[in-house]
Amino acid sequence: MMYPSMVRLTFHLPNQQQIVYGEDDDIDYVLDKPSVAASKFTSWMECNVIDSEARELTYVEFHTKFVWILNGRFWKRRKVGKAIGRIHSGSPNLGEAYFLMILLNKVKGPTSFDEIRAVNGETHSSFRDACYALGLLDGDKEYIDVIKEATHSGYVCLNQRSFGKIHGNIWQMEFYITNDKDSSLQNYHSVEMNLRT
């Protein structure tokens, strides 16, 4: 049985993509390279402009249907194989990048950074505000989602320590659920309520 490959999804805030260059490279030449203007992430938004199927997918889902062509720096529809996109877990200490990460798991088919921040026709001034407008930061949901992601990507021990300090009851709840083979959404709610009392 073949398993799908996992693709690490990179992302960045507007105009903050990574640029790789040598110490002897001319800075004007480096900044004029196509790779500076067209990151994998911004090219995803460009693909959303021209492809209706792409607009139906979040950034994480996108890799199940599209493949990155490195030589041409563009996306094309996947014909064979399977892939799962993963955004690596981040800390709320990352600020706006953290809130962008949350939105990339929820927002389908944006064509710009402004569209990622748009909720019900209103473009918010920050990714954080957009998260609040979508109800993604109400209560402990964002911490629970990060912990769930960590349990799937193998970063459990690292995150247990950081969440154990600040949100110990949430970690206990997630630890209980992810280790209970018969856990269900009903158990999830009862555990959450019991730990908060």
Mark out the alpha helices in the chain (DSSP H runs).
Answer: 27-32, 34-37, 40-50, 59-62, 96-104, 113-116, 127-133, 141-153, 156-166, 168-179, 185-196
* Confidence at residue 26, expressed as pLDDT on a 0 to 100 scale: 86
Mean pLDDT for 76-91 is 84
66 CB burial (10 A radius; 0-12, 13-18, 19+) = buried
Higher pLDDT, 27 or 2: 27
Tens digits of residue pLDDT in 178-187: 444 444 444 3
Task: Flag whether pLDDT at 103 surpasses 90.
Answer: yes
Q: CB atoms < 10 A from the CB of 178, how many?
A: 15
CB 38, CB 92: distance < 8 Å:
no
pTM of the full structure: 0.67
